[in-house]
Structure 1
Amino acid sequence: MTKSPRKAWKEAIEAYSKELRLPMIRHHLEEQIQEANQRDISYEEFLAQLLEKECDARHESARYNRIRRAEFTHKKYLEDLCIEYLPEDAQKKFKLLKTLDFIREGRNLILAGNPGTGKSHIATGLGLKACQEGYKVWFTSVPLLVNRIKECRSEQTLRAFQNRFEKYDLVIADEMGYISFDKEGSELLFTHLSLRAGRKSTIITTNLSFERWGEIFQDPVMTAAMIDRLTHQSYIVNMNGNSYRMKETKEWLQNQELA
């Protein structure tokens, strides 16, 4: 039986879309044809709607891959924060931070304060928002970053790691201050964070005031240089306050009692 011209064209479209790797066009072709016939839409609208589905799918896939490659340890979104639980300085600057202007400006963000006040949640939430808006992000803790650099140096892959590290739009270095470093680790961390200074953004979370950073690096000269390099034209948020986690826990317990 001879194929109808319409069926032949449909099969051709499916074949071309497969070869060109346009799976959404292939997947939605039949329903778009039916809708076009029912609504009597123009050829231009028909084509635009098919291409829109392909673009939407690719954008969603790209967002998913950016988040996956960022290596977040937890998914903590800004929308999940109770703003009134945050320290006063964080409440004042939260709206500004959400704009992600600091990434566009290539400026650092330092969240410094006592444990449990929402530093990691804010940092992760900003990182996830950055991924959703098209930025290339990497999340790591400072101790893991130092170990990673040491491993790359011993495996002679340090240059490749440095090239990747420099190109991230945003690096989140969590938990500065929980572990002190030897001289080698301090120098490597300083060198790598310096690669990004003034060009790309880094978020640092720390439970220590700058006066106590000497406890981490154990070298007054390097400590002073590190603070100067990281804080130059940076956004600094004072995260000292009551424990955000404790407030969440109390609220959860109250809800359990009411249930």
Structure 2
Amino acid sequence: MNRPTTTSKRQTKATQSPSKRTCKTTPPETAQVDSGPMEERLTEQFRSLRLPMFRDQFQSSADRAAAEDLSHVEYLAELTDLECQARHESRIKRLMTNSRLPLGKTWETFKFDRLPLSVTRQLESLREGSFLDRRENVLIFGRPGAGKSHALCALANQLVQQGRSMLLTTCSLLVQQLLIAKRDLRLQKFIKKLSRYEGLLIDDLGYVQQDREEMEVLFTLLAERYERGSVLLTSNLAFSKWDQIFKDAMTTAAAIDRLVHHSVIIELNVPSYRVETARQTKSAGQSRKGSKQKSTS
């Protein structure tokens, strides 16, 4: 049997080695580097990654890091802080828009000096928002003009600032939306959409006298939301008069039971703010008129 000579082995090795060397030295296509400037490439990458603060601030932050002799970690931490802050502010702005809260009814503009100290403390304790985690309700009662709606909106505004999702609606509008959803065979879908909000604010429960169909959709919402999400509502009617809303004693008792089971009840037993303001304005006008008459006599 003929054995291959040493020369043939060397020839075979020589013919194979060039292809091996080519494999090692040819870079893969994915490793090819863009020939554009580094800043432009980073800008496009940050835009693609949706990092607007990185995109807008990386160069100025890099210049400052070089001037202040910051480490790579400190430079990255500064950029990351800017990005997180921007995202937080954007989220709060989006939550505020979605909440439909009025701009003027805030914590800062509410007249706390009109309230008993015990009520002020109740509202203060709710500001930190843990009742939302416990799916507890907030029920605010009082006469017309007592400040129920303002207190509700002021509280919700504080919670939105903490990143909580809230939605304000009037009882009459909510009932009409529920009726339309029921007519279109999407009532459960609409109620599920409302469940995305940690707090559902229902203003003026009791001002509109519902018929039986309206009462049924409202009760359905309250029953579905029971222990699944917080309801914050205002009403000028005491519980003893809620049969005007839900029409029959059994449904009224069932609705009250679901709302009260896990709840904080706040009673604003104070005079109408609008009436007080009107009286003060009238009194001030009469005083000015009297002073003017004295000066002319």
TM-score, with structure 2 as normaliser: 0.78
Q: Alpha-carbon deviation of 1:101?
A: 2.5
Q: Which amino acid aligns with 1:194?
A: A
Secondary structure of the corresponding residue to residue 238 of structure 1: strand
Deviation at 1:24, TM superposition (A): 1.3
Contact 1:107 1:199 in 2 (8 A): no
Q: State how 1:147-162 maps to structure 2 within 5 Å.
A: 147-162=176-191
User: Which residue, 183, 202, 208 being the options, matches 2:212?
Assistant: 183
Report the AA paired with residue 53 of structure 2: M
Distance 1:48 1:228 in 2: 51
Distance 1:255 1:29, change over 3 A: farther
The equivalences for 1:106-185 within 5 A come to 106-185=135-214
Query: Partner residue of 2:259?
Result: 230
Identity of aligned residues (%): 32
Cross-structure match for 2:8: none
**Matches of 1:83 and 1:114 in 2, distance apart?**
16
1:10 aligned to which of 28, 36, 39 = 39
Instruction: Select 1:20's aligned residue among 46, 49, 63.
Output: 49
Equivalent position of 2:295 in the other structure: none
Equivalent residue of 1:175, what SS?
strand
Which residue among 94, 107, 117 is the counterpart of 1:78? 107
How far apart are residue 239 of structure 1 and its match? 1.3
Residue 253 of structure 1: how far off its partner (Å): 8.2
Q: Which moved further from structure 2: 185-194 or 244-253?
A: 244-253
- Which has the larger displacement, 89-98 or 25-34? 89-98
Match of 1:211 in 2: 240
Q: Give, in whole Å, the separation in 1 of the partners of 2:230 and 2:204.
A: 17
Q: Which residue of 2 aligns with 1:60?
A: 89
1:95-110 paired onto structure 2 within 5 Å: 95-110=124-139
Report the Cα distance in structure 2 between the residues aligned to 1:231 and 1:8, rounded to whole angstroms: 65
Shift of 1:248: 5.3
SS in 2 for 1:80: coil
Aligned residue among 75, 79, 92 for 1:50: 79
Query: Residues 97-121 of structure 1: CA distance to partner in whole angstroms, max 9, x if unpaired?
Result: 2222221211001001101111111
Structure 1 residue runs of 5 or longer lacking an equivalent are: 1-6
1:41 maps to 2:73: no
Tell whether the 8 Å contact from 2:168 to 2:200 is kept in structure 1 after alignment. Answer: yes
**Cα deviation 1:172-223 (Å, max 9, x = unaligned):** 0000011110001101101101111123111010011111111222222211
Unaligned runs of 5+ residues in structure 2 are 1-35, 289-297
Q: Distance in 1 between matches of 2:201 and 2:281?
A: 29
Q: In structure 1, what is the Cα distance between the partners aligned to 2:117 and 2:142?
A: 12
Contact 2:152 2:234 in 1 (8 A): yes
Deviates more, 1:46-55 or 1:125-134: 125-134
- Aligned to 1:179, the other structure's residue is in SS state coil
CA contact (8 A) 1:149 1:158 kept: yes
For 2:271 and 2:124, locate their aligned partners in 1 and report how far apart those are by CA, in whole Å.
21
Q: 1:113, 1:207 within 8 Å by CA — same for their partners in 2?
A: yes
Q: Aligned partner of 2:212: which letter?
A: K
Superposed CA deviations along residues 58-84 of structure 1, whole A, max 9, x for unmatched, are 111111111111122444211222211
Coordinate RMSD, CA, aligned: 2.4
CA distance in 2, matches of 1:252, 1:55: 48
Higher relative contact order, structure no. (Cα contacts within 8 Å, ≥ 6 residues apart):
1
1:145 aligned counterpart, secondary structure: helix
Aligned partner letter, 1:101 = S
